[in-house]
Amino acid sequence: MKYRCGDFVYYSDNDKNKLGRLKAILKDDEHNLSRLRIQKALSFQDLPKSLRSKKRLQRSTSGEFWLTDDYKVITTSQIINKSAVKMADIKEIVYEHLSRWHVRDIELSYQHPADYITTGSPPCPSMPVYKLFIDLYYDDFGTYRTVYHSLGGVYVQFGNMPIHQRKLIKNHFVLGFVPFGGSFDEFLRPFISEMRVLEQGKVMKVNGQDAWVIAGLGVVTSDLPQGNDMVGTLRQNASKGCRTCTVSRESFTDYNQDIQALLRYHQITDNQFNEIINENIKSKKKHLCTAYGLRLQPSILDKLKRERHLQAPQDIYHATAGKIGRLLEFTCEMFSEEGETDFIKTWKDFEKPKKWARLPNPISHRKSFMMSDYLRLAMIMPFLLYRFLQVSSIKKNDIKAIQERMQIQLNSVPKKIISCWVQVSKTMKIVFNSEFTLDGYEELQQCLEEELIILPKV
């Protein structure tokens, strides 16, 4: 029997038959095995007791099941058979938030590609099939250090390549450059047109043999402003300027929010765009844009088959460097005259790695720091502060404000500032790990939560 991504299957787990949806087929090169990523599904009897209502019991008799946010990786030998359950039988998702069980509508979930992507069949069944996903990169950069006008570089990569090959410069394929004042949409139209043909499949010569080639858009990577543009959301200074969720700026530091219910989902954003486009009154149209955090028109990339929010992740390099840059700005501004003098002396005496490029003094030259400078500084900042920071190193107003926010003694404030930098450095180290295990993801989540608690207070 053939199994495809998106199918519901029964599988064995601890000698029990369970239901789940096949989300991905993973290849284990080390052991030459295939593994399956399953999204767990529940029957009414499996629901938490607090969710077993009479209405859900009645719906379960009509064949309704519930998906969860829990995933499990199993071997192919654990598969029992295919289930007759379809996505139409799923109305809600069960998830846990703040140690309590909740449900959300199935619309508040990322669609699986199997739900919205169809491809053409090769003209000959024996013809070899090649499937590619193409990653798109867009970045604005200054052509000269002192010239404001920027140039937009657009290039692609084949996401099928192993990570060590994707790092090579020869495997970065430049599409071209968008000049200052030029239209990104106009520049990208030929690429969009060709990609739409490849989405349905095309006969091409591969090693002298006809082959059926199918290609789709993979991950779209760019800086924060351009990333929002390519998703269709407002810029980051708007009230709802995040391209991943609808959390308002005022609530960014509230770590008790129900993020799963506040994430942006492609199908919901489509409906919001249609509402904006169909509104004829300009004032109401702008009001809708503000309320939804969306632009007047969707991105040109929406002409391709993609999940706009899932396939345009935040650039962790820029996000981490920007966070460190802001923390550095706050730290330097809170130094008293004595603190600045002690920091500069410590900075000059501190022995930095010989392989590093020369770092200028952060007190007077931090505005000229590059992102790589911020990341290097985060590695050594806890050691620098530990050597000199004391109560007299901090302005009186700032140290009292931190004391009140953290409800601690005055003498403990310098230690908390150092602890904040330690936490940021630790998180940065984990973020840029070359590999992630399940334990690694849990450690990263814990570090982010601890950082989220201490950063707003400092």
Q: What are the tens digits of pLDDT across the range 117-133?
A: 888 889 888 899 999 99
pLDDT (mean) for 143-169: 80
Q: How far apart are the C-alpha atoms of 306 and 192, rounded to whole Å?
A: 12
Q: What is the 3-state secondary structure (H, E, C) of the chain?
A: CCCCCCCEEEEEECCEEEEEEEEEEEEECCCCEEEEEEEEEECHHHCCHHHCCHHHHHHHCCCCEEEEEEEEEEEHHHEEEECCCCHHHEEEEEEEECCEEEEEECCCCCCCHHHHCCCCCCCCCCCCEEEEEEEEEEEEEECCCCCCCEEEEEEEEECCCCHHHHCCHHHCEEEEEECCCCCHHHHHHHHHHHHHHHHHCEEEEECCEEEEEEEEEEEEEECHHHHHHHHCECCCCCCCCCCCECCCHHHCCCCCCCHHHHECCHHHHHHHHHHHHHCCCHHHHHHHHHHHCECCCCCHHHHCCCCCCCCCCCCHHHHHHHHHHHHHHHHHHCECHHHHHHHHHHHHHCCCCCCCCCCCCHHHHHHHCCHHHHHHHHHHHHHHHHHHCCHHHECHHHHHHHHHHHCCCHHHHHHHHHHHHHHHHHHHHHHCCCCCCHHHHHHHHHHHHHHHHHCCCC
∠446-451-457 over CA atoms, to 5°?
145
Q: How far apart are the C-alpha atoms of 428 and 380, rounded to whole Å?
A: 12
Return the amino acid letter for 372.
S
Q: Where exactly are the structural domains of the chain? A: 8-106, 129-303, 316-454
Is the pLDDT confidence value at 394 over 80?
yes
Is the pLDDT confidence value at 143 over 80?
no
pLDDT tier, 142 (very low <50, low <70, confident <90, very high otherwise):
low
Q: How far apart are the C-alpha atoms of 390 and 367, rounded to whole Å?
A: 25
Q: What are the tens digits of pLDDT across the range 190-216?
A: 999 999 999 999 999 998 899 999 999
Q: How far apart are the C-alpha atoms of 234 and 229, rounded to whole Å?
A: 7
pLDDT of residue 154: 92
Is the pLDDT confidence value at 167 over 90?
no
Is the pLDDT confidence value at 180 over 90?
no
More confident residue, 366 or 38: 38
Q: How far apart are the C-alpha atoms of 7 and 20, rounded to whole Å?
A: 9
The answer to whether 424 and 451 are in contact (CB under 8 A) is yes
**Both ends of the chain: CA-CA distance in Å?**
59
Q: What are the tens digits of pLDDT across the range 208-251?
A: 899 999 999 999 998 888 899 999 999 988 999 999 999 998 88
Q: What are the tens digits of pLDDT across the range 302-356?
A: 999 999 999 999 888 888 998 999 999 999 999 999 999 999 999 999 988 888 8
pLDDT of residue 14: 87
pLDDT of residue 30: 73
How many CB atoms sit inside 10 A of residue 335's CB? 19
pLDDT of residue 144: 62
- For the domain bounded by 8-106, which CATH number is listed? 2.30.30.490
Mean pLDDT of the chain: 90
Structure tokens at 359: 């770092």
Return the amino acid letter for 196.
R
pLDDT tier, 149 (very low <50, low <70, confident <90, very high otherwise):
low
Q: What are the tens digits of pLDDT across the range 53-81?
A: 999 999 999 999 999 999 999 999 999 99
Signed CA dihedral, 420, 424, 429, 431: sign only = positive
